[in-house]
Structure 1
């Protein structure tokens, strides 16, 4: 049953309540291995479901365009101070609605249409908002992309420097959405300084690892840092921007009034809760366990003959190239979902297949770690995945159902935040 209980919703709209209860049970019964997903605490759920959703608060604390901000101002300032303390940042903006608008705010703050941006290509693990041709960032600006090396699956920083010197970008972006290796923030900062560019670090995926000391921090190296507040940070679906002091005004003006109106105060409250949780000593243990689980999963998958991009992982994410298994990422992901293992199909570097039917799977360990699974469980997870791929190739639906039952049985011993069995 969903926790907090949906008493009023069940009474007034039982159809919707039943759907939400179904989703809660689905999240409880499946191995949730999408790298960008997690479970928030019940406290975060409570904060995001409060009367704060009733309030409009355009502007910033002390400078609002609506009255009645006595408590909202304090909530936003609390979230800001917690973000600054947790990450060691000069300035934090907690109003951005999600990661993509946060990234757009950086373009608005520092660029003019047509300016050159140096980013990691989407096919190498970058993000749509890093200059993809289907994104406004690729249509309004001039993106040039660095890639990973075909042989290693890693970025060659000497080649990034060569591109920066040749292209003279106004903005350099590091980070992305499918990068299993440590990002070299000092090297990017050195290159940006050499060419006079603004450096933006997109840590949407690794913010929780950074907060917990399981990945190096970009703060102090990057001029601006964008991040979502969910994923490894384990907060609500929102975003933040952190910046050096000299960029604070430009960032804030880009967010409001540049891109949006009133912030979502209920989300801000949830962010404040998540930042408080991430500041606790136990969160360091959690972040370290995420990485330990990912490394153990990568090793176990390798033992089963899976081909991993870059050969493994340094963080929460494992990118699998299924070419040698004779199956595409999409049919594999769908079979895994039937087998109780939630992943997403994903392109791999230098993929020869179509984006909607790529060669890879993207896996992550944040949600499994929140449930309490450890390294000792990862060989079993890898074995289930191997059995599922074989079953998919042989169209063995009974085997998929059997695996799903085994997954559910294992997870019954691991409580889920936001759900009571």
Structure 2
């Protein structure tokens, strides 16, 4: 099939006098933007942490709210002229608490890592012991990596998964909690495709008098759409991102009860951050509003349905799917049965227009691959397309034939920003 070479136009929210001015003033950056849009539109974006925002979210991100300095919180800013951005932030927090059933929301964190940093700052002191999923089993950098602030400032103990099933070993979590008496227990992962049992984590935390922190960066969008259990009723603090499945701008947020609200707010500002990014906060408000609509519930369930079909189809092609499947948008797989290590697999797939990540595999020496279905589902793809993607995967990994043109044809039928 022929490769699509037609020029790609930016979303209508970015196309007009503003973008035309950018092209005249700085054509190099304008070319980067158009090139990125072309890259996104002519391949399949399967990175589990990525998605396509709506034109409305993009419009808020590119708005004059980017000009406003707004240290502090609504009604208590350190700068004048914040009356309108106060409205935007209150809309964001009100929509977040309503969407997730939380008593309090802080929408100022610049990222998921910033949100976790603030949660630790609110609840812990340097040197405290924290129990979290170990990095080899899917833990995040903020869960004790020695290269990260978490591993330098706190004493992390890692829990793992069962060697045969790949599922969280809750008895091991309980034994480690009683052996080390952590100040906090973190539940959450970047590469665990199953729903954690938040109630069991809550029970274990209560047994040892620990705070329970849920790092829900990946599943929070599924929670918003009713396609995943919510950590809010069980965790003392929930940290999350607003991109990924939630389909908002890049950023973070924190949910908690009223008893911790002041401590969380002070940990975000002034302890770990300065001025809030008001254009991003407005874009978060837009995304929360979109996620409260019935269409988002349909979308979230389709994301999971697509992931399950894709996982089964990849298994049929010879990949080993960790935990035997998925409950979420996320799939992790071992490619070594095809005679190829994860990093090499990522390169071959990228050359075929299939973009994804590598990840650690529990108890494995080689790296595997990690992929997700959030972005392709936003584009409108369903189960039939997932089955086709699995075949293209296999052919690209086995180097049976060139599949780039077919990937581009499939992507072209589902443009992320239709014109």
TM-score, normalised relative to structure 1 = 0.95
Q: CA deviation at 1:323?
A: 2.0
What is the DSSP-based 3-state SS (H/G/I as helix, E as strand, rest coil) of the residue aligned with 1:129? helix
Residue 218 (str. 1) matches residue 241 (str. 2): no
Match of 2:205? 192
Match of 1:364? 372
Equivalent in 251, 265, 269 of residue 282 of structure 2: 269
Q: Partners in 2 of 1:210 and 1:374 — Cα distance?
A: 20
Residue 99 (str. 1) matches residue 112 (str. 2): yes
Match of 2:3? none
Match of 2:43? 30
Deviations 1:293-344 (A, max 9, x none): 0000011011111101111111000101112221111111111111011111
Match of 1:148? 161
Deviations 1:256-281 (A, max 9, x none): 01101101000001100000000000
Structure 2: unaligned runs, 5 residues or longer:
1-8
Q: Following superposition of structure 1 onto structure 2, how do residues 376-395 of structure 1 map, counting pairs within 5 Å? A: 376-391=384-399
- The number of residue pairs the alignment matches comes to 406
Match of 1:321? 334
Residue 175 (str. 1) matches residue 188 (str. 2): yes
Match of 2:314? 301
Residue 373 (str. 1) matches residue 381 (str. 2): yes
Match of 1:201? 214
What is the DSSP-based 3-state SS (H/G/I as helix, E as strand, rest coil) of the residue aligned with 1:182? coil
What is the DSSP-based 3-state SS (H/G/I as helix, E as strand, rest coil) of the residue aligned with 2:333? strand
Q: Following superposition of structure 1 onto structure 2, how do residues 233-248 of structure 1 map, counting pairs within 5 Å? A: 233-248=246-261
Match of 2:415? 415
Equivalent in 290, 302, 312 of residue 289 of structure 1: 302
Q: CA deviation at 1:150?
A: 1.0
What is the DSSP-based 3-state SS (H/G/I as helix, E as strand, rest coil) of the residue aligned with 2:213? strand
Q: Following superposition of structure 1 onto structure 2, how do residues 13-162 of structure 1 map, counting pairs within 5 Å? A: 13-162=26-175
Structure 1 ranges of 4+ moved more than 2 A: none
What is the DSSP-based 3-state SS (H/G/I as helix, E as strand, rest coil) of the residue aligned with 1:108? helix
Match of 2:23? 10
What is the DSSP-based 3-state SS (H/G/I as helix, E as strand, rest coil) of the residue aligned with 1:318? strand
Q: Partners in 1 of 2:44 and 2:311 — Cα distance?
A: 16
Structure 1: unaligned runs, 5 residues or longer:
354-358
Q: Partners in 2 of 1:323 and 1:341 — Cα distance?
A: 18
Q: CA deviation at 1:255?
A: 0.4
Deviations 1:136-187 (A, max 9, x none): 1011110001001111100011211111111110010001111100111111
Q: Partners in 2 of 1:108 and 1:41 — Cα distance?
A: 33
Q: Which moved more, 1:318-327 or 1:138-147?
A: 318-327
Deviations 1:363-420 (A, max 9, x none): 10000100000011111100100001111xxxx7xx33xx111111122221313x64
TM-score, normalised relative to structure 2 = 0.95
Deviations 1:93-122 (A, max 9, x none): 000000111101111111111100000011
CA-based RMSD of the aligned residues comes to 1.0
Q: Which moved more, 1:132-141 or 1:166-175?
A: 132-141
